[in-house]
Structure 1
Amino acid sequence: MASHEVTVEAGYVHGYSEREAVRLGEQADTLAALVHAGTAYPAGSRVLEIGCGVGAQTVHLAQASPGARITAVDRSHDSLAQARARVATHAPGADVEWHRADLFDLPFPDAEFDHVFVCFVLEHLPNPRQALTALRRVLRPEGTITVIEGDHESAFFHPASAYARAAIECQIRLQSAGGGDALIGRQLQPLLAQAGYDDVVVRPRTVYTDQTRPALVDGFTRNTFIAMVESVRDDALAAGLMSAGDWDRGITDLHRTAQADGTFHYTFFKAFAVNPSGVATTGR
Protein backbone atom coordinates (compact mmCIF):
# COMPACT_ATOMS: atom_id res chain seq x y z
CA MET A 1 0.00 0.00 0.00
CA ALA A 2 1.18 3.53 -0.70
CA SER A 3 2.87 5.58 2.00
CA HIS A 4 1.06 8.73 3.11
CA GLU A 5 1.91 11.61 5.37
CA VAL A 6 -0.47 11.53 8.31
CA THR A 7 -1.57 14.68 10.11
CA VAL A 8 -4.03 14.59 12.99
CA GLU A 9 -4.74 16.86 15.90
CA ALA A 10 -2.78 15.96 19.03
CA GLY A 11 -4.83 14.47 21.83
CA TYR A 12 -6.83 11.40 22.65
CA VAL A 13 -6.90 9.46 19.37
CA HIS A 14 -10.08 7.53 20.25
CA GLY A 15 -12.18 10.63 20.95
CA TYR A 16 -14.64 11.37 23.76
CA SER A 17 -17.84 9.88 22.41
CA GLU A 18 -20.40 7.98 24.46
CA ARG A 19 -19.35 4.85 22.58
CA GLU A 20 -15.75 5.37 23.69
CA ALA A 21 -16.85 5.77 27.32
CA VAL A 22 -18.69 2.45 27.06
CA ARG A 23 -15.62 0.83 25.49
CA LEU A 24 -13.38 2.06 28.30
CA GLY A 25 -15.73 0.66 30.91
CA GLU A 26 -15.93 -2.68 29.09
CA GLN A 27 -12.14 -2.80 28.84
CA ALA A 28 -11.61 -2.04 32.53
CA ASP A 29 -14.18 -4.58 33.70
CA THR A 30 -12.97 -7.31 31.35
CA LEU A 31 -9.31 -6.84 32.24
CA ALA A 32 -9.69 -6.05 35.95
CA ALA A 33 -8.23 -9.33 37.18
CA LEU A 34 -5.34 -9.09 34.72
CA VAL A 35 -4.53 -5.40 35.11
CA HIS A 36 -5.14 -4.90 38.82
CA ALA A 37 -3.80 -8.20 40.17
CA GLY A 38 -1.11 -7.37 42.72
CA THR A 39 -2.17 -3.73 43.08
CA ALA A 40 -3.72 -2.98 46.46
CA TYR A 41 -2.88 0.00 48.63
CA PRO A 42 -2.93 0.10 52.45
CA ALA A 43 -5.72 1.85 54.31
CA GLY A 44 -4.92 5.53 54.75
CA SER A 45 -2.35 5.63 51.97
CA ARG A 46 -2.50 8.52 49.53
CA VAL A 47 -2.90 7.38 45.92
CA LEU A 48 -2.75 9.59 42.85
CA GLU A 49 -4.41 8.30 39.67
CA ILE A 50 -3.28 10.24 36.62
CA GLY A 51 -5.59 10.41 33.60
CA CYS A 52 -8.60 8.84 35.29
CA GLY A 53 -10.83 9.50 32.29
CA VAL A 54 -14.37 8.26 32.86
CA GLY A 55 -13.35 6.45 36.07
CA ALA A 56 -13.21 2.99 34.52
CA GLN A 57 -9.99 2.12 36.35
CA THR A 58 -10.80 4.25 39.41
CA VAL A 59 -13.66 1.91 40.31
CA HIS A 60 -11.31 -1.07 40.42
CA LEU A 61 -8.65 0.85 42.35
CA ALA A 62 -11.23 1.78 44.97
CA GLN A 63 -12.64 -1.74 45.17
CA ALA A 64 -9.18 -3.29 45.62
CA SER A 65 -8.07 -0.72 48.23
CA PRO A 66 -11.21 0.35 50.12
CA GLY A 67 -9.30 2.23 52.80
CA ALA A 68 -7.00 4.17 50.49
CA ARG A 69 -7.41 7.89 49.83
CA ILE A 70 -7.53 8.25 46.04
CA THR A 71 -7.00 11.50 44.18
CA ALA A 72 -8.11 11.16 40.55
CA VAL A 73 -6.93 13.69 37.96
CA ASP A 74 -7.97 14.32 34.37
CA ARG A 75 -7.98 17.25 31.93
CA SER A 76 -11.58 16.78 30.77
CA HIS A 77 -14.54 18.24 32.70
CA ASP A 78 -16.93 15.83 30.99
CA SER A 79 -14.80 12.79 31.75
CA LEU A 80 -14.53 13.77 35.41
CA ALA A 81 -18.30 14.14 35.64
CA GLN A 82 -18.75 10.65 34.21
CA ALA A 83 -16.06 9.33 36.55
CA ARG A 84 -17.84 10.71 39.64
CA ALA A 85 -21.08 9.07 38.57
CA ARG A 86 -19.40 5.75 37.79
CA VAL A 87 -17.61 5.56 41.13
CA ALA A 88 -20.73 6.61 43.04
CA THR A 89 -22.58 3.73 41.40
CA HIS A 90 -19.95 0.98 41.49
CA ALA A 91 -17.81 1.89 44.51
CA PRO A 92 -20.12 3.84 46.85
CA GLY A 93 -18.35 5.17 49.88
CA ALA A 94 -14.94 5.20 48.19
CA ASP A 95 -12.64 8.00 49.35
CA VAL A 96 -11.98 9.76 46.05
CA GLU A 97 -11.16 13.40 45.36
CA TRP A 98 -11.47 14.73 41.82
CA HIS A 99 -9.24 17.35 40.21
CA ARG A 100 -9.12 18.82 36.74
CA ALA A 101 -5.45 19.44 36.05
CA ASP A 102 -2.61 18.90 33.63
CA LEU A 103 0.01 16.29 34.48
CA PHE A 104 2.77 18.88 34.07
CA ASP A 105 1.07 21.43 36.34
CA LEU A 106 -0.34 19.39 39.20
CA PRO A 107 -1.81 21.48 42.05
CA PHE A 108 -0.27 19.38 44.83
CA PRO A 109 2.65 19.91 47.23
CA ASP A 110 5.90 18.03 46.83
CA ALA A 111 5.87 14.45 48.15
CA GLU A 112 2.08 14.56 48.63
CA PHE A 113 1.39 10.95 47.61
CA ASP A 114 2.51 7.50 48.70
CA HIS A 115 1.64 5.85 45.40
CA VAL A 116 0.97 6.87 41.80
CA PHE A 117 -1.12 4.81 39.37
CA VAL A 118 -0.90 5.46 35.62
CA CYS A 119 -2.93 3.25 33.26
CA PHE A 120 -3.24 3.69 29.48
CA VAL A 121 -2.05 7.31 29.69
CA LEU A 122 1.57 7.44 28.51
CA GLU A 123 0.59 6.07 25.09
CA HIS A 124 -1.21 9.36 24.38
CA LEU A 125 1.63 11.70 25.41
CA PRO A 126 4.35 13.13 23.16
CA ASN A 127 6.80 13.21 26.10
CA PRO A 128 6.24 10.15 28.32
CA ARG A 129 9.68 10.25 29.97
CA GLN A 130 9.21 13.88 31.01
CA ALA A 131 5.77 12.97 32.35
CA LEU A 132 7.21 10.20 34.51
CA THR A 133 9.91 12.57 35.73
CA ALA A 134 7.34 15.23 36.61
CA LEU A 135 5.37 12.73 38.70
CA ARG A 136 8.37 12.19 40.97
CA ARG A 137 7.80 15.65 42.45
CA VAL A 138 4.47 14.72 44.01
CA LEU A 139 5.51 11.20 44.98
CA ARG A 140 7.20 10.85 48.35
CA PRO A 141 10.70 9.36 48.53
CA GLU A 142 10.41 5.56 48.57
CA GLY A 143 6.85 5.90 47.22
CA THR A 144 5.83 3.63 44.37
CA ILE A 145 4.56 4.12 40.86
CA THR A 146 2.58 1.56 38.85
CA VAL A 147 2.32 2.01 35.09
CA ILE A 148 0.26 -0.14 32.70
CA GLU A 149 0.38 0.16 28.92
CA GLY A 150 -0.34 -1.95 25.85
CA ASP A 151 1.54 -2.61 22.63
CA HIS A 152 -0.59 -2.89 19.51
CA GLU A 153 2.07 -4.75 17.55
CA SER A 154 1.77 -7.55 20.10
CA ALA A 155 -1.62 -8.44 18.61
CA PHE A 156 -1.65 -11.63 16.60
CA PHE A 157 -4.55 -13.77 15.61
CA HIS A 158 -6.04 -16.62 13.63
CA PRO A 159 -7.08 -16.60 10.85
CA ALA A 160 -4.23 -14.34 9.79
CA SER A 161 -5.09 -11.38 7.57
CA ALA A 162 -2.92 -8.74 5.95
CA TYR A 163 -5.98 -6.47 5.74
CA ALA A 164 -6.68 -6.80 9.47
CA ARG A 165 -3.02 -6.10 10.20
CA ALA A 166 -3.16 -3.01 7.97
CA ALA A 167 -6.23 -1.69 9.83
CA ILE A 168 -4.37 -2.05 13.14
CA GLU A 169 -1.39 -0.27 11.59
CA CYS A 170 -3.69 2.65 10.70
CA GLN A 171 -4.52 3.09 14.38
CA ILE A 172 -0.81 2.93 15.28
CA ARG A 173 0.12 5.54 12.65
CA LEU A 174 -2.71 7.89 13.57
CA GLN A 175 -1.77 7.75 17.24
CA SER A 176 1.86 8.47 16.36
CA ALA A 177 0.83 11.41 14.16
CA GLY A 178 -1.08 12.83 17.13
CA GLY A 179 2.00 12.67 19.34
CA GLY A 180 1.31 9.34 21.02
CA ASP A 181 2.83 5.88 20.81
CA ALA A 182 0.70 2.74 20.58
CA LEU A 183 3.83 0.59 21.06
CA ILE A 184 4.87 2.12 24.37
CA GLY A 185 4.35 -0.98 26.50
CA ARG A 186 7.69 -2.45 25.41
CA GLN A 187 9.45 0.76 26.47
CA LEU A 188 8.34 1.01 30.11
CA GLN A 189 11.53 -0.26 31.72
CA PRO A 190 13.91 2.19 30.00
CA LEU A 191 11.43 5.06 30.33
CA LEU A 192 11.10 4.62 34.10
CA ALA A 193 14.84 4.11 34.55
CA GLN A 194 15.64 7.22 32.50
CA ALA A 195 13.10 9.20 34.55
CA GLY A 196 15.11 8.39 37.67
CA TYR A 197 13.10 5.60 39.33
CA ASP A 198 14.73 2.69 41.15
CA ASP A 199 13.88 -1.01 41.35
CA VAL A 200 12.01 -1.03 38.06
CA VAL A 201 10.21 -4.30 37.39
CA VAL A 202 8.14 -4.88 34.23
CA ARG A 203 6.12 -7.98 33.53
CA PRO A 204 3.87 -8.90 30.57
CA ARG A 205 0.15 -9.43 31.15
CA THR A 206 -1.16 -11.52 28.27
CA VAL A 207 -4.73 -11.74 27.01
CA TYR A 208 -5.57 -14.79 24.95
CA THR A 209 -9.07 -15.51 23.65
CA ASP A 210 -10.74 -18.40 21.88
CA GLN A 211 -14.15 -20.11 21.93
CA THR A 212 -13.43 -21.64 25.35
CA ARG A 213 -13.28 -18.11 26.84
CA PRO A 214 -16.45 -16.44 25.54
CA ALA A 215 -16.43 -13.62 28.09
CA LEU A 216 -12.98 -12.53 26.90
CA VAL A 217 -13.95 -12.91 23.25
CA ASP A 218 -16.81 -10.46 23.79
CA GLY A 219 -15.23 -8.22 26.41
CA PHE A 220 -11.77 -7.92 24.91
CA THR A 221 -11.56 -9.04 21.28
CA ARG A 222 -14.86 -7.53 20.11
CA ASN A 223 -15.71 -4.77 22.55
CA THR A 224 -12.24 -3.52 23.47
CA PHE A 225 -9.69 -4.14 20.74
CA ILE A 226 -11.78 -4.28 17.56
CA ALA A 227 -13.97 -1.42 18.81
CA MET A 228 -10.81 0.64 19.35
CA VAL A 229 -9.61 0.04 15.79
CA GLU A 230 -13.08 0.70 14.34
CA SER A 231 -13.16 4.10 16.06
CA VAL A 232 -10.42 5.51 13.79
CA ARG A 233 -12.12 4.57 10.48
CA ASP A 234 -12.97 8.12 9.38
CA ASP A 235 -9.50 9.45 10.20
CA ALA A 236 -7.79 6.52 8.48
CA LEU A 237 -9.79 7.00 5.30
CA ALA A 238 -9.39 10.79 5.36
CA ALA A 239 -5.61 10.35 5.65
CA GLY A 240 -5.61 7.95 2.71
CA LEU A 241 -4.08 5.15 4.77
CA MET A 242 -6.46 2.53 3.30
CA SER A 243 -9.27 2.45 0.80
CA ALA A 244 -12.78 2.04 2.16
CA GLY A 245 -13.00 -1.44 0.66
CA ASP A 246 -9.70 -2.60 2.16
CA TRP A 247 -10.63 -1.10 5.54
CA ASP A 248 -13.98 -2.87 5.60
CA ARG A 249 -12.30 -6.16 4.68
CA GLY A 250 -9.75 -5.64 7.47
CA ILE A 251 -12.46 -5.05 10.06
CA THR A 252 -14.43 -8.05 8.77
CA ASP A 253 -11.31 -10.19 9.13
CA LEU A 254 -10.73 -8.91 12.67
CA HIS A 255 -14.27 -9.93 13.59
CA ARG A 256 -13.52 -13.32 12.03
CA THR A 257 -10.96 -13.91 14.82
CA ALA A 258 -13.82 -13.68 17.36
CA GLN A 259 -15.79 -16.47 15.73
CA ALA A 260 -15.83 -20.10 16.84
CA ASP A 261 -12.59 -21.13 15.11
CA GLY A 262 -10.73 -17.85 15.70
CA THR A 263 -8.12 -16.91 18.31
CA PHE A 264 -6.67 -13.59 19.45
CA HIS A 265 -3.63 -12.62 21.54
CA TYR A 266 -2.50 -9.29 22.98
CA THR A 267 0.12 -8.27 25.54
CA PHE A 268 -0.07 -5.52 28.13
CA PHE A 269 2.93 -4.53 30.23
CA LYS A 270 2.70 -3.67 33.93
CA ALA A 271 5.58 -1.80 35.54
CA PHE A 272 6.36 -1.14 39.20
CA ALA A 273 9.08 1.23 40.40
CA VAL A 274 10.21 3.22 43.42
CA ASN A 275 10.91 6.94 43.74
CA PRO A 276 14.41 7.13 45.20
CA SER A 277 15.30 9.06 48.33
CA GLY A 278 16.94 12.41 47.80
CA VAL A 279 16.05 15.79 46.38
CA ALA A 280 12.62 15.88 44.74
CA THR A 281 12.52 16.81 41.06
CA THR A 282 10.10 19.26 39.50
CA GLY A 283 10.22 17.48 36.15
CA ARG A 284 9.96 20.85 34.39
Structure 2
Amino acid sequence: MDTAYVHGYTEPETRRLGDQADTLADLLHAGTAYPAGSRVLEAGCGVGAQTVHLMARSPGAHLTAVDVSAASLRQAKARVRGVDFRQADLFDLDGEYDHVFVCFVLEHLAEPEKALAHLKTLLRPGGTITVIEGDHGSAFFHPRSEHAQAAVDCLVRLQADAGGDALIGRRLHPLLTGAGFGDVSVAPRTVYADASRPTLVAGFTRDTFTAMVEGVGETAVARGLITQDRWDLGVADLHRTTREDGTFCYTFFKATGSRP
Protein backbone atom coordinates (compact mmCIF):
# COMPACT_ATOMS: atom_id res chain seq x y z
CA MET A 1 0.00 0.00 0.00
CA ASP A 2 1.53 3.30 -1.10
CA THR A 3 1.08 5.45 1.98
CA ALA A 4 3.03 7.69 4.32
CA TYR A 5 1.49 8.62 7.64
CA VAL A 6 2.18 12.35 7.77
CA HIS A 7 1.39 12.57 11.50
CA GLY A 8 4.03 10.04 12.52
CA TYR A 9 3.93 7.20 15.05
CA THR A 10 4.89 9.08 18.21
CA GLU A 11 3.35 8.79 21.66
CA PRO A 12 1.70 12.25 21.37
CA GLU A 13 0.08 11.12 18.12
CA THR A 14 -1.23 7.99 19.83
CA ARG A 15 -2.79 10.16 22.55
CA ARG A 16 -4.25 12.48 19.94
CA LEU A 17 -5.90 9.60 18.11
CA GLY A 18 -7.43 8.38 21.36
CA ASP A 19 -8.65 11.86 22.30
CA GLN A 20 -10.17 12.27 18.85
CA ALA A 21 -11.95 8.92 18.88
CA ASP A 22 -13.34 9.33 22.39
CA THR A 23 -14.44 12.93 21.95
CA LEU A 24 -16.17 12.29 18.63
CA ALA A 25 -17.52 8.78 19.29
CA ASP A 26 -21.18 9.77 19.33
CA LEU A 27 -20.81 12.08 16.35
CA LEU A 28 -18.94 9.65 14.10
CA HIS A 29 -20.30 6.26 15.19
CA ALA A 30 -23.98 7.15 15.50
CA GLY A 31 -25.91 4.88 13.15
CA THR A 32 -23.15 2.28 12.92
CA ALA A 33 -23.97 -1.00 14.65
CA TYR A 34 -23.46 -4.46 13.18
CA PRO A 35 -25.65 -7.51 13.89
CA ALA A 36 -24.47 -10.27 16.17
CA GLY A 37 -22.55 -12.88 14.23
CA SER A 38 -21.76 -10.62 11.30
CA ARG A 39 -18.23 -10.56 9.91
CA VAL A 40 -16.79 -7.06 10.08
CA LEU A 41 -13.45 -5.84 8.71
CA GLU A 42 -11.85 -2.65 10.00
CA ALA A 43 -9.28 -1.72 7.36
CA GLY A 44 -6.49 0.46 8.76
CA CYS A 45 -7.23 0.19 12.48
CA GLY A 46 -4.04 1.95 13.61
CA VAL A 47 -3.69 1.99 17.39
CA GLY A 48 -7.28 0.79 17.84
CA ALA A 49 -8.76 4.15 18.79
CA GLN A 50 -11.86 3.56 16.64
CA THR A 51 -11.85 -0.20 17.23
CA VAL A 52 -12.85 0.39 20.84
CA HIS A 53 -16.04 2.12 19.75
CA LEU A 54 -16.83 -0.42 17.04
CA MET A 55 -16.70 -3.20 19.63
CA ALA A 56 -18.76 -1.23 22.15
CA ARG A 57 -21.57 -0.67 19.63
CA SER A 58 -21.49 -4.13 18.04
CA PRO A 59 -20.47 -6.52 20.84
CA GLY A 60 -21.79 -9.60 19.07
CA ALA A 61 -20.04 -9.02 15.75
CA HIS A 62 -16.90 -10.85 14.70
CA LEU A 63 -14.42 -8.02 14.16
CA THR A 64 -11.18 -8.37 12.23
CA ALA A 65 -8.96 -5.28 12.46
CA VAL A 66 -6.02 -4.91 10.09
CA ASP A 67 -3.13 -2.48 9.88
CA VAL A 68 0.22 -2.36 8.13
CA SER A 69 2.10 -1.14 11.24
CA ALA A 70 3.23 -3.77 13.75
CA ALA A 71 3.86 -1.08 16.37
CA SER A 72 0.35 0.30 16.01
CA LEU A 73 -1.15 -3.17 16.26
CA ARG A 74 0.68 -3.83 19.53
CA GLN A 75 -0.98 -0.75 20.99
CA ALA A 76 -4.34 -1.75 19.54
CA LYS A 77 -4.15 -5.20 21.13
CA ALA A 78 -3.42 -3.60 24.49
CA ARG A 79 -6.34 -1.20 24.05
CA VAL A 80 -9.18 -3.59 23.19
CA ARG A 81 -9.88 -7.31 23.60
CA GLY A 82 -11.97 -9.72 21.59
CA VAL A 83 -10.73 -8.57 18.19
CA ASP A 84 -8.85 -10.58 15.57
CA PHE A 85 -5.93 -8.25 14.84
CA ARG A 86 -3.82 -8.89 11.76
CA GLN A 87 -0.84 -7.16 10.20
CA ALA A 88 -1.28 -6.79 6.47
CA ASP A 89 -1.21 -4.36 3.61
CA LEU A 90 -4.69 -3.27 2.58
CA PHE A 91 -4.14 -4.53 -0.97
CA ASP A 92 -3.09 -7.97 0.29
CA LEU A 93 -6.29 -8.59 2.25
CA ASP A 94 -8.52 -11.49 1.33
CA GLY A 95 -11.55 -13.27 2.76
CA GLU A 96 -15.23 -12.42 2.72
CA TYR A 97 -17.00 -10.02 5.07
CA ASP A 98 -20.49 -8.73 5.66
CA HIS A 99 -19.34 -5.21 6.45
CA VAL A 100 -16.20 -3.10 6.01
CA PHE A 101 -15.38 -0.05 8.15
CA VAL A 102 -12.74 2.49 7.09
CA CYS A 103 -11.99 5.59 9.17
CA PHE A 104 -9.28 8.20 8.48
CA VAL A 105 -7.43 5.88 6.09
CA LEU A 106 -8.22 7.01 2.55
CA GLU A 107 -6.79 10.47 3.21
CA HIS A 108 -3.32 8.91 3.42
CA LEU A 109 -3.50 6.86 0.21
CA ALA A 110 -2.23 7.85 -3.22
CA GLU A 111 -4.94 5.75 -4.90
CA PRO A 112 -8.03 5.76 -2.66
CA GLU A 113 -10.39 4.62 -5.43
CA LYS A 114 -8.19 1.61 -6.11
CA ALA A 115 -8.23 0.79 -2.39
CA LEU A 116 -12.02 1.01 -2.30
CA ALA A 117 -12.32 -1.19 -5.36
CA HIS A 118 -10.21 -3.86 -3.64
CA LEU A 119 -12.24 -3.60 -0.42
CA LYS A 120 -15.39 -4.15 -2.49
CA THR A 121 -14.03 -7.55 -3.56
CA LEU A 122 -13.89 -8.56 0.11
CA LEU A 123 -17.60 -7.94 0.66
CA ARG A 124 -20.28 -10.53 0.05
CA PRO A 125 -22.95 -9.40 -2.42
CA GLY A 126 -25.18 -6.97 -0.54
CA GLY A 127 -22.47 -6.30 2.06
CA THR A 128 -21.89 -2.75 3.17
CA ILE A 129 -19.01 -0.34 3.54
CA THR A 130 -18.79 2.64 5.90
CA VAL A 131 -16.15 5.30 5.29
CA ILE A 132 -15.39 8.30 7.51
CA GLU A 133 -13.00 11.07 6.49
CA GLY A 134 -12.29 14.64 7.46
CA ASP A 135 -11.76 17.67 5.24
CA HIS A 136 -9.33 20.30 6.50
CA GLY A 137 -10.81 22.80 4.07
CA SER A 138 -13.97 22.75 6.18
CA ALA A 139 -12.24 24.23 9.25
CA PHE A 140 -13.20 27.77 10.17
CA PHE A 141 -12.78 29.59 13.41
CA HIS A 142 -13.02 32.80 15.38
CA PRO A 143 -11.02 34.93 15.83
CA ARG A 144 -10.13 34.70 12.14
CA SER A 145 -6.39 34.42 11.59
CA GLU A 146 -4.34 34.32 8.39
CA HIS A 147 -1.43 32.91 10.40
CA ALA A 148 -3.58 30.03 11.73
CA GLN A 149 -4.89 29.31 8.23
CA ALA A 150 -1.34 29.25 6.90
CA ALA A 151 -0.42 26.62 9.51
CA VAL A 152 -3.40 24.48 8.50
CA ASP A 153 -2.45 24.88 4.84
CA CYS A 154 1.02 23.53 5.66
CA LEU A 155 -0.55 20.32 6.94
CA VAL A 156 -2.64 20.03 3.77
CA ARG A 157 0.48 20.55 1.64
CA LEU A 158 2.56 18.02 3.58
CA GLN A 159 -0.14 15.39 3.28
CA ALA A 160 -0.36 16.01 -0.47
CA ASP A 161 3.42 15.73 -0.76
CA ALA A 162 3.18 12.35 1.01
CA GLY A 163 0.66 11.15 -1.57
CA GLY A 164 -2.51 11.77 0.43
CA ASP A 165 -5.39 14.23 0.42
CA ALA A 166 -6.41 16.15 3.55
CA LEU A 167 -9.46 17.45 1.65
CA ILE A 168 -10.79 14.01 0.75
CA GLY A 169 -14.05 14.25 2.70
CA ARG A 170 -15.72 16.17 -0.10
CA ARG A 171 -14.74 13.41 -2.57
CA LEU A 172 -16.33 10.40 -0.87
CA HIS A 173 -19.40 10.14 -3.10
CA PRO A 174 -17.49 10.11 -6.41
CA LEU A 175 -14.82 7.83 -4.95
CA LEU A 176 -17.30 5.21 -3.80
CA THR A 177 -19.42 5.33 -6.94
CA GLY A 178 -16.27 5.23 -9.06
CA ALA A 179 -15.16 2.09 -7.21
CA GLY A 180 -18.45 0.39 -8.12
CA PHE A 181 -20.43 0.65 -4.89
CA GLY A 182 -24.18 1.05 -5.03
CA ASP A 183 -26.65 2.86 -2.78
CA VAL A 184 -23.98 5.42 -1.90
CA SER A 185 -25.01 8.00 0.65
CA VAL A 186 -22.82 10.71 2.22
CA ALA A 187 -23.72 12.90 5.17
CA PRO A 188 -21.76 15.66 6.91
CA ARG A 189 -20.97 15.22 10.58
CA THR A 190 -20.11 18.68 11.88
CA VAL A 191 -18.42 19.42 15.18
CA TYR A 192 -18.81 22.92 16.58
CA ALA A 193 -17.07 24.08 19.75
CA ASP A 194 -17.41 27.23 21.83
CA ALA A 195 -17.21 28.14 25.51
CA SER A 196 -20.60 26.55 26.18
CA ARG A 197 -19.15 23.18 25.08
CA PRO A 198 -15.93 22.85 27.08
CA THR A 199 -15.58 19.12 26.43
CA LEU A 200 -15.41 19.74 22.68
CA VAL A 201 -13.13 22.74 23.12
CA ALA A 202 -10.63 20.59 25.01
CA GLY A 203 -11.15 17.27 23.26
CA PHE A 204 -11.46 18.48 19.70
CA THR A 205 -10.24 22.05 19.17
CA ARG A 206 -7.19 21.72 21.42
CA ASP A 207 -6.33 18.02 21.73
CA THR A 208 -7.39 16.82 18.27
CA PHE A 209 -7.21 19.50 15.58
CA THR A 210 -4.66 21.93 17.00
CA ALA A 211 -2.50 19.06 18.26
CA MET A 212 -2.60 17.53 14.78
CA VAL A 213 -1.41 20.78 13.20
CA GLU A 214 1.26 21.30 15.85
CA GLY A 215 2.64 17.84 15.14
CA VAL A 216 3.87 18.80 11.66
CA GLY A 217 5.47 22.12 12.62
CA GLU A 218 9.07 20.96 12.61
CA THR A 219 8.68 19.37 9.19
CA ALA A 220 6.83 22.37 7.72
CA VAL A 221 9.57 24.77 8.82
CA ALA A 222 12.38 22.45 7.75
CA ARG A 223 10.92 22.15 4.26
CA GLY A 224 10.59 25.89 3.92
CA LEU A 225 6.80 25.95 3.74
CA ILE A 226 6.64 28.57 6.47
CA THR A 227 9.02 30.47 8.74
CA GLN A 228 9.33 29.55 12.40
CA ASP A 229 7.95 32.94 13.45
CA ARG A 230 4.87 32.61 11.26
CA TRP A 231 4.36 29.04 12.41
CA ASP A 232 4.48 30.06 16.07
CA LEU A 233 1.95 32.83 15.42
CA GLY A 234 -0.35 30.39 13.60
CA VAL A 235 -0.32 27.81 16.36
CA ALA A 236 -0.83 30.51 18.99
CA ASP A 237 -3.85 31.77 17.07
CA LEU A 238 -5.31 28.26 16.86
CA HIS A 239 -5.02 28.01 20.64
CA ARG A 240 -6.60 31.46 20.82
CA THR A 241 -9.83 29.93 19.47
CA THR A 242 -10.16 27.87 22.68
CA ARG A 243 -10.61 30.94 24.88
CA GLU A 244 -13.90 32.24 26.23
CA ASP A 245 -14.77 34.20 23.08
CA GLY A 246 -13.35 31.69 20.56
CA THR A 247 -15.21 29.25 18.31
CA PHE A 248 -14.17 26.38 16.06
CA CYS A 249 -16.07 24.41 13.42
CA TYR A 250 -15.04 21.38 11.36
CA THR A 251 -16.92 18.91 9.17
CA PHE A 252 -16.34 15.20 8.82
CA PHE A 253 -18.06 13.17 6.12
CA LYS A 254 -19.56 9.72 6.65
CA ALA A 255 -20.38 7.62 3.64
CA THR A 256 -22.07 4.26 3.23
CA GLY A 257 -22.47 2.01 0.22
CA SER A 258 -23.05 -1.60 -0.70
CA ARG A 259 -21.67 -4.22 -3.04
CA PRO A 260 -24.21 -4.85 -5.81
TM over 0.5: yes
2:86 to 99, 107, 115: 99
| Residues 189-220 of structure 1 deviation map (CA, whole Å, 9 limit, x = unaligned) | 00000000000000000000000000000000
Cα deviation for residue 226 of structure 1 reads: 0.2
**Are residues 102 and 43 of structure 1, via their aligned partners in 2, closer, same or farther at CA, if it must alter by over 3 Å?**
same
The 5 A counterparts of 1:121-270 are 121-270=105-254
Give the distance between the partners of 1:139 and 1:155, measured in 2 at CA: 34
Residue 25 of structure 2 corresponds to which residue in structure 1? 32
Aligned-residue Cα RMSD (Å) equals 0.9
Matched, 1:21 2:14: yes
Cα deviation for residue 136 of structure 1 reads: 1.0
Give the distance between the partners of 2:166 and 2:63, measured in 1 at CA: 27
Residue 42 of structure 2 corresponds to which residue in structure 1? 49
Amino acid at match of 1:233: G
Give the distance between the partners of 1:145 and 1:136, measured in 2 at CA: 8
Cα deviation for residue 10 of structure 1 reads: 5.3
Quick one: percent identity of the two aligned structures? 66
| Residues 220-266 of structure 1 deviation map (CA, whole Å, 9 limit, x = unaligned) | 00000000000001110011111100000000000000111000000
Residue 103 of structure 2 corresponds to which residue in structure 1? 119
Query: Which structure has the bigger radius of gyration?
Result: 1
Give the distance between the partners of 1:189 and 1:198, measured in 2 at CA: 10
Q: Assess if the C-alpha contact under 8 Å between 1:58 and 1:87 holds in 2.
A: yes
Give the distance between the partners of 2:160 and 2:127, measured in 1 at CA: 31
Q: Assess if the C-alpha contact under 8 Å between 1:217 and 1:258 holds in 2.
A: yes
Amino acid at match of 1:195: A
Amino acid at match of 1:34: L
Give the distance between the partners of 1:209 and 1:83, measured in 2 at CA: 29
2:73 to 48, 69, 80: 80
* Partner SS state of residue 56, structure 1: coil
* Partner SS state of residue 50, structure 2: helix
* Number of equivalences: 259
Residue 91 of structure 1 corresponds to which residue in structure 2? none
Q: Which runs of 5+ in 2 are unaligned?
A: none
* Partner SS state of residue 248, structure 2: strand
Give the distance between the partners of 2:8 and 2:146, measured in 1 at CA: 26
**Are residues 10 and 271 of structure 1, via their aligned partners in 2, closer, same or farther at CA, if it must alter by over 3 Å?**
closer
Give the distance between the partners of 2:219 and 2:142, measured in 1 at CA: 27
Give the distance between the partners of 1:120 and 1:273, measured in 2 at CA: 17
Give the TM-score taking structure 1 as reference length. Answer: 0.90
Q: Which runs of 5+ in 1 are unaligned?
A: 1-8, 89-93, 277-284
* Partner SS state of residue 261, structure 1: coil
Give the distance between the partners of 2:167 and 2:89, measured in 1 at CA: 23
Cα deviation for residue 137 of structure 1 reads: 1.2
Residue 4 of structure 1 corresponds to which residue in structure 2? none
Q: Assess if the C-alpha contact under 8 Å between 1:10 and 1:177 holds in 2.
A: no
* Partner SS state of residue 99, structure 1: strand
